[in-house]
Chains A and B, each alone.
Chain A
Amino acid sequence: MNVRTETSRLVPRDAADVAAIVAAATGALEPVGGGSKRQIGKPVAADVLDLRALAGIVSYEPAELVLTAQAATPLAALESVLAAHSQRLVFEPPDFGALLGMAEPQTIGGVLAANLAGSRRVTAGAARDHFLGFRAVNGRGESFKAGGKVVKNVTGYDLPKLLAGSWGTLAVLTEVTIRVAPAPELDRTLVVAAGSVGECLALLGAALRSPHDVSAAGVDPQRGSLLRLEGFAASVEARTRALCDELKCEPSDVLEGAASRECWQRLAGGASLAQSPVVWRISVPPTDAPRVLERLEAEQYLVDWGGGLILAAYEAVDAARVRGALTAGHATLLKAPAEARASTPVFQPQPPAVAAAAARLRHAFDPRGILNPGRMD
């Protein structure tokens, strides 16, 4: 093993190095791909495990809808390879760079480890739903695999689900296999000028209950309701008419192609909230949204997932108010100064029995507690 060591920065060349480093580690390690999400979660005091060398697409079979890549493959590079084959990641990972003031690139492993999904989450699933398999190194330094490299697989526990959203606290992903999807011929967003937030939310619900295959539905209070229709052009045209007839609404604006994608990326990434020092990402049953929004008293907010996701912006962290506003769901402190994140549970506190199960799982993967210790506490 020939590992270059900077001060507290360990730089494996490959997955075997990752295993050797973790096995030999005597202290805490923070797995870092691109580093774009290092400001999310409780601050971690640890040596950086810099995974940048684990980049590159291992195999890509467009007709199989499957792609395998090293975990630290930059997301942008991966998405451009997909685009060249008229495919995409249907879960549309959000980019929090503008919101968090981070210029670092996202990696596919980071997106999966954080289980981040954009606006299409409500109809097409989250990152977890497209995460088919992986190779990883657990906290014992053991290299292991789970899942598979085909789109349909129920062999063994679905560990990709468990690792999705575990923020590097269970294992260090080294290689991931994901399901990819065809890109639509036409991506169209209907902007329906704002009524009250209640009227907007009612419109989103009606749109998602319609048979017109609305793929995303959100509210940007600056613009109004946003409804997305995608697919073959002829179909999108017909569905646009049918949807507007059914909802009795007239779009004030229609965005297509790159403009449509940009609109949803700005919404999911919370770009318009970048000036706020504190932003919560809140998942609730969609019909709870009007009451939750009222109780949140946010200075600014955005709504996505048909009402199921709220980004709420504040000047200061008030976890009791935010979490107290929910009767179901969960609130994650997406953006806050480090000292606030150190003193506030960033992730939703779990009921005791669930927290105990999570702790036992953590112990099973990382008995020494060296991978991102405390990040999810």
Chain B
Amino acid sequence: MICLPDPDPSLLARRGDIARALRAIVAEGGVVDDDVRLAAYETDALTAYRRRPLAVVLPETTAEVAAILQFAEREGVKVVPRGAGTSLSGGAIPAEDAIVVGLGKFNRILDIDYANRCVVAQSGVTNLAISHAVAPEGFYYAPDPSSQIACTIGGNVAENSGGVHCLKYGLTTNNVLGVELVTPQGEVVRLGGKHLDSGHYDLLGLTVGSEGLIGVVTEVTVRILRRPQTARALLIGFDDVEAAGACVAAIIADGIIPAGMEMMDRPAIHAAEAFVGVGYPLDVEALLIVELDGPAVEVDYLIERVRAIAERNAARGIRVSTSERERLAFWAGRKAAFPAVGRLSPDYYCMDGTIPRRELPRVLRAMAEMQQRFGLRVANVFHAGDGNLHPLILYDANVPGELERAEAFGFEILKLSVDVGGVLTGEHGVGLEKRDLMTYQFDATDLTVQHRVKHAFDPDVRFNPGKVFPTLRRCAEQGREHVHAGTERFAHLPRF
């Protein structure tokens, strides 16, 4: 049970005045403050938590964002920035005494610059729209979070989003060249641009992954890459997870960085195969998908090299894609793993720790023990190349206490990730969800240093309150809502 800060009654009392002031700043229809429409903004993809904000304001220009933030600064109003609301860690969940600044109208691509291999987009443009815009010339934007059809590039900047291909191509931070940021004081600053690196402190690098705590990003410059000529994949089964892990290590030790390297455990394999029926082997304990991309000659060469490594590492059954259709079929089960697991159970809770890969057997053994102890099942999908685990804990929110047990189970997995030398979150962000675990990974001094960074931008602590950093405020008695998988937000999105 995660506590949200108690709302400030004086702000709640000024709700009408605040909405009126915002209406004076933005175009007609740009302020939402009726309960029916506000309901759409109550939560994000961490749907177990919801809070209705004071109002939602939907500016159309950077000048309007600046005016809104200047007003908020003057009046001491809290601000929650929001892109598409696809955060899995509750990064966009409002506070009751905050206004939400929605970037939905910042939906234009401003500049496609092939000569400098970059795109300048407003922050509300979706991740996938950038790749679509440059596809005619054979380019794409590399980071590919599973929600890329819906999530915005501004949200990607806030969360430093990853994706299946980030082992080879990096996270958002490695692919962003510049941002326009409106500070909590309402000042517009440009960090970076079409050039590389900063001439002074790397405030751009600090902004990426700052989870909406230091301002509102209104524009993003990203680098674009030539789409690889070819991509092929191998589907490799193993009798145990240790062997699969050893194979992954051997591939990397051989000097190969695959475009994607994904592992699934037995429950995930069975769930996926039952859902999409693409011919996954059902008699293996672990399944590895290895994708190689690049020039055709290189891909063909590496496919054989990976095949040989797999054979040396106790692989049982190796399939190599011989067509684009087959490659996509290999991926279909993996990409459908979340909804597939969702069919096994009314609800599931997705975790996101990263571990040193060598610790995988130990972590999976511990998880098996935890399943017994918590009385809940878990299925594992795993970005095997970079050690990013996504255990999916199955539960039924209608059974009293199960959600709390699922959360406790998840938190124990994340603590174990830290214990074995890893971290709480590899790509989903701390947000609300993992806030109270920050003290497990970081000591008081570490967190104090981070707090001071926050204060350097937001001395009044008004931006995205209650996120990332634990607060000392005691938890008030709170009711809780929960949502079944059937009515999950963005249920149509692949999750991986």
Chain A contact residues, CB within 8 Å of chain B: 61-66, 86, 115, 117, 121-122, 125-126, 128-129, 138, 142-146, 148-159, 161-162, 164-166, 170, 181-185, 205, 208-213, 231-232, 234-235, 238-239, 242, 283-287, 305, 308-309, 328-332, 347-348, 350-351, 353-355, 357-358, 360-361, 363-365, 376
Contacts and interface: CB of A to CB of B under 8 A. Distances in A.
A361 B422 CA distance: 28
A105 to B, nearest CB: 24
B195 A329 contact: yes
B468 A156 contact: yes
A331 B199 contact: yes
A181 B174 CA distance: 15
A309 B199 CA distance: 12
Contact of A353 (B113, B116, B183, B456): B183
B218 interface: no
A155 B424 contact: yes
B295 A152 contact: no
Given A155-B423, A164-B205, A287-B116, 16 more contacts: A122-B196, A144-B445, A144-B448, A151-B354, A155-B441, A158-B209, A159-B206, A161-B208, A162-B201, A235-B294, A239-B295, A239-B298, A354-B189, A357-B183, A361-B201, A364-B452
B423 A287 contact: no
Given A142-B449, A329-B193, A357 B203 contact: yes
A122 to B, nearest CB: 7
**Size category, B interface:** 35 or more
Contact of A361 (B249, B252, B257, B456): B456
Contacts of A361: 201, 203, 453, 456
A341 B387 CA distance: 46
A182 to B, nearest CB: 4
Contact of B256 (A115, A142, A182, A355): A182
A156, A184, A363, A365 pick with most chain B CB within 10 angstroms: A156
A212, A231, A354, A361 pick with most chain B CB within 10 angstroms: A354
A161 B173 contact: yes
A63 B202 contact: no
A164 B174 CA distance: 14
B208 A152 contact: no
A352 B260 CA distance: 43
B105 interface: no
Contacts of A144: 443, 445-446, 448-449
Contacts of B243: none
B61 interface: no
B199 A347 contact: yes
A239 B295 CA distance: 8
Nearest to B424: A155
18 contacts: A128-B197, A142-B449, A144-B445, A149-B356, A154-B159, A154-B162, A155-B424, A156-B442, A158-B209, A165-B197, A210-B226, A232-B298, A235-B301, A283-B195, A358-B203, A364-B449, A364-B456, A376-B200
A180 to B, nearest CB: 11
B301 A234 contact: yes
Contacts of B429: 154
Contacts of A129: 170, 173-174
Given A153-B426, A155-B430, A358-B200, A238 B446 contact: no
B186 to A, nearest CB: 10
Contact of B195 (A117, A235, A285, A351): A285
A330 B115 CA distance: 20
Interface string B247-271: 0011011111100000000000000
Nearest to B228: A211
Interface in B291-311: 294-295, 297-298, 301-302
Given A129-B170, A158-B173, A365-B452, A152 B183 contact: no
Contacts of A151: 167, 354, 386-387
Contacts of A143: 445
A239 B452 CA distance: 49
B227 interface: yes
B471 interface: no
A172 B65 CA distance: 37
A350 B200 contact: yes
B398 interface: no
B381 to A, nearest CB: 14
Contacts of B452: 364-365
Given A63-B253, A86-B255, A162 B302 contact: no
Given A158-B208, A213-B294, A308 B195 contact: yes
B356 A182 contact: no
A152 B388 contact: yes
Contacts of A329: 193, 195, 199
B11 to A, nearest CB: 26
